[in-house]
Structure 1
Amino acid sequence: MIIRKAIEDDFAELAVLMGELGYPTSDEQMEKRFKEIHNDLNYHTIVVEEDGILLGMIGMFKGLAYEKDERYVRIISLVVREEFRNQKIGKLLVDHAQLWAKEQGVLKLAVNTGKRRVDSHHFYKARGFDDTGAGFYKIIT
């Protein structure tokens, strides 16, 4: 397995992974999204690859807090292909997210996960994340 920063040529495999996460995404959509993400230095995407196939990915954003004098890294997307789950790939990706955060001088790693994703709640708690609240979203029309 190879762990590396995602590159623009990964867009088709990233689209597959977004579908596995529950967000069906076309190659064209992912190519457009990833170009913007890839060009923003506050974003960082790490993939695990084996034999030219992406087994998993983690996408993060580095931000500034309003309420405290601190920076944080928020995990936006974390997914492992279904047939490769429970093989410590997710843990490996989170470990690399922590390394990237430390390289950025950041000591806080945050994540939001949906209420229906009970397995992910257990996953994050097992990795030392605290359950601190609920997330809310509103579509602006």
Structure 2
Amino acid sequence: MTGDRLNVRRAHIGDTAVLNELFVQLGYPQDAPGATASRIQSWSEDPAGAALVAEADGKVLGVVAVHVCPYLERPGSWGRIVALVVSDRARRQGVAGRLVAAAEAFAESRGCVRMEVTSANRRDDAHGFYRSRGYADQSERSSRFLRELGGPGGS
């Protein structure tokens, strides 16, 4: 799947159905396609973020979303991989590597000096993938705290 046939591009509204399928494969039930299309549109309008898809032969095989956040306490910015999903039919074929490389290139082009990604504890394969790309597990150094808010998507 890799090589010349694999193309990475910005996601667009026409990708809504296949992105919904990918998110379901990863265990994230999706709402109405219109809501996903709206999120894709928001990502396409945000200069600090990018939703990128990998496609081969006209078929979307995966998606990565990356967002840039400037540091306040020091120079530079950091990039965060917000989502990464590869179709179960295209895993272990280099698609995720190409998507992460594209996300890193996007972040570097916007002054990022560090990348971050979080991954559920149960996703051992994903952890191995990130380690193979030079990401270090920092969960022993810090804690992650979340609080749901009442806006769209919150509780």
- Percentage of pairs with the same residue: 30
Aligned residue pairs: how many? Answer: 141
CA–CA separation in structure 1 for the residues paired with 2:127 and 2:44: 28
Structure 1 stretches of 4+ with a deviation exceeding 3 A read: none
Match of 2:119 among 100, 113, 116: 113
TM-score (structure 2 length as normaliser): 0.83
Q: Within 5 Å, give how 1:13-52 maps onto structure 2.
A: 13-25=18-30, 26-52=32-58
Rounded to whole Å, the distance in 2 between the matches of 1:135 and 1:117 is 17
Flag the structure with larger Rg: 2
String of CA shifts for 1:8-36, please: whole Å, max 9, x gaps.
22122211111122112142221121122
Aligned counterparts of 2:35 and 2:149: Cα–Cα separation in 1: 21
What are the ranges of 5 or more consecutive residues in structure 2 without an aligned counterpart?
Answer: 1-5, 151-155
TM-score by length of structure 1 reads 0.90
CA–CA distance in structure 2, aligned partners of residues 86 and 75 of structure 1: 19
Greater shift, 24-33 or 55-64, is seen at 24-33
Counterparts of 1:48 and 1:82, CA distance in 2:
14
Unaligned runs of 5+ in 1: none
Query: How many angstroms does 1:135 deviate by?
Result: 2.7
Does residue 12 of structure 2 align to residue 7 of structure 1? Answer: yes
Between 37-46 and 77-86, the greater mean CA deviation after superposition: 37-46
